Structure 1
Amino acid sequence: MASSEEKVVAVIMVGGPTKGTEFRPVSFNTPKPLFPLAGQPMVHHPISACKRMPNLAQVFLIGFYEDREFALYVSSISNELKVPVRYLKEDKPHGSAGALYYFRDLIMEDAPSHIFLLNCDVCCSFPLPDMLEAHRGYGGIGTLLVIKVSAESANKFGELVADPITKELLHYTEKPETFVSDLINCGVYVFTPKIFSAIQVSTHREDRANLRQVPSFEALQSATRSLPTDFVRLDQDILSPLAGKKQLYTYETMDFWEQIKTPGMSLKCSALYLSQFQFTSPHLLASGDGSESATIIGDVYVHPSAKIHPTAKIGPNVSISANVRIAAGVRLISCIILDDVEIKENAVVMHAIVGRKSSIGRWSRAQAEGDYNAKLGITILGEAVTVEDEVVVTDSIVLPNKTLNVSVQEDIIL
């Protein structure tokens, strides 16, 4: 049994501006981790999951965005959740394992018994308490969250082989060219502090091959204590060498899991989180029957400051941000509407993201097929885009500060 005094800390990797270029144009003026999914910043969902852990001492966000980009959010979320959230800026990218090691003194200042490591661009139910319980039973230094996917899509991720009985990680390979397994790494981990010794060994290139030959973890701890001199990846440099050493184990989730690499996937993941709110945060879901307020269909988030005409019909899978104005007769389906957007009478938005301060005219449409994996599978309007009256924008991406007075289809408006 865990002691009631044992503390856990969480580390969430948020990347930096050189990452996530596939997320443009919605990341031009908002760091990707702060882009709203289901009305909450992307990073808010893993933080909220961590908050549900007993004895959570601190949450650390590690990345190489400028401090000012996270200062306001970190302050507000710390106050809201009543748990310290700190942003730690890397001087340069160190890799997920290297960054963990670089900030090890801060991470260990509360002497936690366990460290959760999560990637910000992962969308799942984050079953952290169950993972921790399983991890304690395994007795290793780390446990990975894993999930089964189709054999066709597995090679986009880290594929692994686990013992079906003991759940030990036996083999790990990142994005293999040939099929290894339909079991993949979800990018969510729990470690004991011994992980720092494993990373320390791996900071020496010549030792990385030797890590495969280490017969016991005690041998790892005798390594020289020096700062990492290079980029250390968790997957290739730590997980692969330690597989089959009775040090790493797996916990399989049967719930939803997606990686948020593109705006299309953000729309899909927003819907997944909205659905999850039914169980975790039902107070965040809007309701309305079209009499005194708009008709709400399915799972919808509406910011309290938004103004919506009672004749509008909203949902399913819609997220409406602050100070949005929605006029009479508007229809919204499967979309994310960002701050300060105006949608005028009888307009339709479907399978789309509408950027901040944009305007959609009367009887206009911003729509798409809703193929979340296709480049033009959703329509994206960048910041401050004006769609004039009776204009239809279909399967298109419009960069910021454009005015459309003619209809477009399957186009990228630069």
Structure 2
Amino acid sequence: MGISDEKVVAVIMVGGPTKGTRFRPLSLNIPKPLFPLAGQPMVHHPISACKRIPNLAQIYLVGFYEEREFAMYVSSISTELRVPVRYLREDKPHGSAGGLYNFRDLIMEDNPSHIFLLNCDVCCSFPLPEMLEAHKRYGGMGTILVIKVSAESASEFGELVADPVTNELLHYTEKPETFVSDRINCGVYVFTPDIFTAIQGVSSQRKDRANLRRLSSFEALQSATRNPPSDFVRLDQDILTPFAGKKKLYTYETMDFWEQIKTPGKSLKCSGLYLAQFRFTSPNLLASGDGTKSATIIGDVNIHPSAKVHPSAKIGPNVSISANARIGAGVRLISCIILDGVEIMENAVVFHAIVGWKSSIGKWSRVQAEGDHKAKLGITILGEAVTVEDEVVVTNSIVLPHKTLNVSVQDEILL
């Protein structure tokens, strides 16, 4: 098989309903990976980035969600991108590396020379073809996408030290208590199939250790909580840390944007990052606001073709409006995600907010927040089918589904 025929497969880890509690109330309706950012499901951004990888044979989504939750999306995206996308459901958590190993036979079906592994809750420009080129030059087992962050925020992630000349990964530690480095792991990798041998090695060592220690039933109970099962293998602690400094792993640094999408506040920020990226990758997805019959558009805005926006409305920057939304006269929208079927009536204002499916905001009302993406109440979130009546102000609050607000609220979580 010549170099030009080498096939590549991509695996995107989408997690499952046990996680994502920080994403409530939005994840009550929809699996977090399908929540729209910049008008596209979260998982759509890494999937469409994979499409740019040369000789891509397959994309697999691996997670614990019920298959029916992804069935429609997977079939429509496969048709749209003309690349087979399959959802593989894990029967139980296997860890980030164990999940990959669990489906190794399927992943190796096309006999790929390289395997990409991406986390779904990461927002970046996904420089995958460039990573692959660098990885082939390094000649190791794997290459990790890394980015430089502030020394204060580094400890929230996996910190690493790489050789400044060869880019070899020399040291890796997950969320260290003391500062190690301002370079962090972005959760995007490319491996050769040797990764499966490495994961198998970790599993075998665990089994051997378990067999050596034939424990009393009390000890076994104690150790089960402490020692993970042999088929539970974490990529960071079990692979990256022990293989660092062995000329097996290398780094590729991105100078672009990068964020982890753990909370609704971060999803609003990431929606804006993707909208800004559309200027270069998909300008057709941005609203232009040309012509006398259309609303005033400021900055990067995505409006679904089925949404109705009054020409006197003023929209942007960083706004995405989903299907069948109705935006009334004189409405002002800034830095917000408006979901399917929302109605916003005359002269209402929404900024730094996510407005849930089928919600309605009355005339002269305001749904707003300070826009601190890190604070728990840094943005205002309305769950599904929330009604905000006329002339009501909702500030820095989270409102669970099916509530009606007829008085103003501030800094509250309304259950």
**1:118 alignment partner, SS class:** strand
1:32-68 CA-partner distances (Å, limit 9, x unpaired): 0000000000000000000011111000000000000
Whether 1:189 and 2:216 are equivalent positions in the alignment is: no
Q: Distance in 2 between matches of 1:384 and 1:262?
A: 21
Partner of 1:241: 242
Q: Distance in 1 between matches of 2:207 and 2:161?
A: 24
Shift of residue 208 of structure 1?
A: 10
Partner of 1:273: 274
Partner of 1:102: 102
Q: Distance in 1 between matches of 2:192 and 2:112?
A: 8
**8 Å CA contact retained: 1:208, 1:241:** no
Partner of 2:221: none
Whether 1:4 and 2:9 are equivalent positions in the alignment is: no
Q: Distance in 1 between matches of 2:334 and 2:148?
A: 30
1:267-326 CA-partner distances (Å, limit 9, x unpaired): 000000000000111100001147211111100000010011100110000010001011
Partner of 2:403: 402
Partner of 2:145: 145
**1:332 alignment partner, SS class:** strand
Q: Distance in 1 between matches of 2:372 and 2:409?
A: 18
1:139-171 CA-partner distances (Å, limit 9, x unpaired): 000000000101100000000010000000000
Shift of residue 203 of structure 1?
A: 1.0
- Higher mean Cα deviation, 80-89 or 289-298? 289-298
**2:3 alignment partner, SS class:** coil
Letter in 2 for 1:106: L
Q: Distance in 1 between matches of 2:12 and 2:395?
A: 36
Structure 1 length normalisation: TM-score? 0.94
Shift of residue 204 of structure 1?
A: 2.9
Partner of 2:330: 329
Partner of 1:365: 366
**1:203 alignment partner, SS class:** helix
- For 1:58-97, what aligned pairs fall within 5 Å after superposition? 58-97=58-97
Q: Distance in 2 between matches of 1:279 and 1:53?
A: 18
Partner of 1:221: none
Letter in 2 for 1:268: K
**8 Å CA contact retained: 1:98, 1:199:** yes
Partner of 1:47: 47
Structure 1: runs of 5 or more not aligned:
210-227
Whether 1:26 and 2:23 are equivalent positions in the alignment is: no
Structure 2 length normalisation: TM-score? 0.94
Shift of residue 4 of structure 1?
A: 1.6
Letter in 2 for 1:140: G
1:345-394 CA-partner distances (Å, limit 9, x unpaired): 00000000000010000000100000000001000000000000000000
Please tell me the root mean square deviation across aligned C-alpha atoms, in Å. 1.2
1:53-84 CA-partner distances (Å, limit 9, x unpaired): 11110000000000000000001000100000
1:201-227 CA-partner distances (Å, limit 9, x unpaired): 011344899xxxxxxxxxxxxxxxxxx
Letter in 2 for 1:380: I
Letter in 1 for 2:7: K
**8 Å CA contact retained: 1:158, 1:173:** yes
**8 Å CA contact retained: 2:207, 2:230:** no
Partner of 1:338: 339
Shift of residue 231 of structure 1?
A: 1.2
Structure 2: runs of 5 or more not aligned:
210-228
Partner of 1:217: none
Partner of 1:125: 125
Partner of 1:383: 384
Structure 1 residues 128 and 194, CA, compared in 2 at 3 Å: closer, same or farther?
Answer: same
Whether 1:135 and 2:130 are equivalent positions in the alignment is: no
Letter in 1 for 2:236: D
Shift of residue 229 of structure 1?
A: 3.7
**8 Å CA contact retained: 1:290, 1:312:** no
- For 1:216-227, what aligned pairs fall within 5 Å after superposition? none
Letter in 1 for 2:85: V
Q: Distance in 1 between matches of 2:241 and 2:277?
A: 33
Structure 1 runs (4+) greater than 6 angstroms displaced? none
Structure 1 residues 338 and 160, CA, compared in 2 at 3 Å: closer, same or farther?
Answer: same
Letter in 1 for 2:404: T
**1:188 alignment partner, SS class:** strand
Letter in 1 for 2:47: I
Letter in 2 for 1:185: N
Letter in 1 for 2:123: C
Shift of residue 400 of structure 1?
A: 0.4
**1:112 alignment partner, SS class:** coil
- For 1:158-169, what aligned pairs fall within 5 Å after superposition? 158-169=158-169
Partner of 2:213: none
Q: Distance in 2 between matches of 1:272 and 1:321?
A: 17
Q: Distance in 1 between matches of 2:208 and 2:184?
A: 23
**1:110 alignment partner, SS class:** coil
Q: Distance in 1 between matches of 2:63 and 2:48?
A: 19
Partner of 1:220: none
Q: Distance in 1 between matches of 2:169 and 2:208?
A: 18
- For 1:246-265, what aligned pairs fall within 5 Å after superposition? 246-265=247-266
Aligned length: 395
